[in-house]
């Protein structure tokens, strides 16, 4: 008899995995940044209305990244990827770079990345190098005024959905870590895995979609993720 292949794993992470590194989660922050509602700075409409304000919001968050480091949960997921012989994919909703810095490589940033910018004219993605004013030129198409954060705002299509969908359809174990289950399509991933796949939620408290998981564990990600790995 041929041995069955090792199980295929998909891990989804949210802001809760970076909370113990010192980055506040969206719902913890009370939805406010310097008295602006997050919806007023993190939408395509906000960017059209006041690009300087939106750039200031993301520049402040980029500055926060310099103060933080990956925690035990990020490091454990990077180790799992290195040591697991089956298929493994880490999908993060986080726009920070803590999974990258921990060593994860089979990684999709489905909501974009703080340390990248995109040209609204030609869609080319570039590393963020500090220039975000209206005069900043796109290195690819040379047009000015189109450089925006490489972030998926509400109403925009999250990134690499085909690759994520393929991995979910084939997965045997789906683990969601530190995500509130309020934002779609990520909140619906648990329903896209094959019937019979094991689904596990790791969170400080039940999320909005906890009942859809076959198993839940409550506690901090820095404890639960290394214990699982
Ligand atoms: C710990 C912990 C510790 C704390 N250990 N745990 C109605 C139904 C279905 C969908 C929709 C709908 N109405 C609108 C939509 C679509 C919309 C949506 O979902 N809206 C909802 C609000 C209802 N979604 C979209 O628009 C998405 N696009 C889309 O659907 O495209 C389709 C489309 C089709 C056709 C044409 C065009 C498009 C895009 C979503 C983009 C999300 N963007 C954001 C902001 C990015 C900008 C930025 O960062 O500035 O991404 S929103 C924000 O929420 C951010 C996050 O990635 C995302 C998820 O948040 P997350 O990670 O879950 O964080 P929190 O704070 O909510 O939760 C933290 C959790 O951690 C908590 O549970 C804590 O308990 C836990 N925790 N400490 C373990 N130590």
123 and 170 share a domain? no
Count of structural domains, the chain = 2
104 and 210 share a domain? yes
17 and 81 share a domain? yes
221 and 174 share a domain? yes
Please report, for the domain that includes residue 14, its CATH number: 3.40.50.1220
12 and 52 share a domain? no
35 and 94 share a domain? no
Report residues whose beta carbon is within 6 angstroms of any ligand 1 atom: 14-16, 19-20, 25-27, 42, 93, 95, 111, 151-152, 154-158, 178-180, 182-185, 203-205, 207, 220-221
ipTM: 0.94
pLDDT digits (tens, 9 = 90+) for 152-197: 998 999 999 999 999 999 999 999 999 999 999 999 999 999 999 9
Please report, for the domain that includes residue 144, its CATH number: 3.30.1600.10
pLDDT digits (tens, 9 = 90+) for 70-112: 999 999 999 999 999 999 999 999 999 999 999 999 999 999 9
40 and 57 share a domain? yes
Domain containing 178 equals: 1-23+70-111+159-229
- In this structure, the dihedral spanned by the alpha carbons of residues 97, 7, 183 and 122, taken in order and rounded to 10 degrees, is 60
What is the Cα 204 distance to its own chain's centre? Answer: 18
Counted residue by residue, the chain has a size of 229
60 and 121 share a domain? yes
Strand partners, 30: none
Q: pTM of the predicted model, to two decimals? A: 0.95
Strand partners, 37: 32
């Amino acid at each position: 008899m041929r041995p069955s292949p090792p199980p295929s794993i998909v891990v989804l992470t949210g802001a809760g995995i970076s909370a113990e590194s010192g980055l506040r989660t969206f719902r913890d922050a009370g939805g406010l940044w310097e008295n602006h509602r997050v919806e007023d700075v993190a939408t395509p409409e906000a960017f059209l209305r006041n690009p300087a304000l939106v750039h200031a919001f993301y520049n402040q968050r980029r500055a926060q990244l310099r103060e933080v480091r990956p925690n035990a949960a990020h490091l454990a997921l990077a180790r799992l990827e290195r040591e697991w012989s089956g298929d493994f994919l880490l999908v993060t909703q986080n726009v920070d770079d803590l999974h990258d810095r921990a060593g994860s490589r089979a990684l999709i940033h489905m909501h974009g990345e703080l340390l990248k910018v995109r040209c609204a004219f030609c869609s080319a993605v570039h590393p963020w190098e500090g220039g975000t004013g209206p005069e900043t030129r796109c290195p690819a198409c040379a047009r000015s005024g189109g450089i925006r954060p490489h972030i998926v705002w509400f109403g925009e299509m999250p990134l690499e959905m085909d690759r994520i969908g393929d991995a979910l359809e084939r997965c045997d174990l789906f683990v969601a870590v530190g995500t509130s289950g309020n934002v779609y399509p990520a909140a619906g991933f648990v329903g896209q895995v094959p019937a019979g796949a094991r689904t596990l939620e790791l969170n400080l408290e039940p999320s909005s979609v906890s009942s859809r998981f076959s198993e839940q564990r409550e506690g901090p990600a820095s404890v639960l993720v290394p214990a699982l790995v």
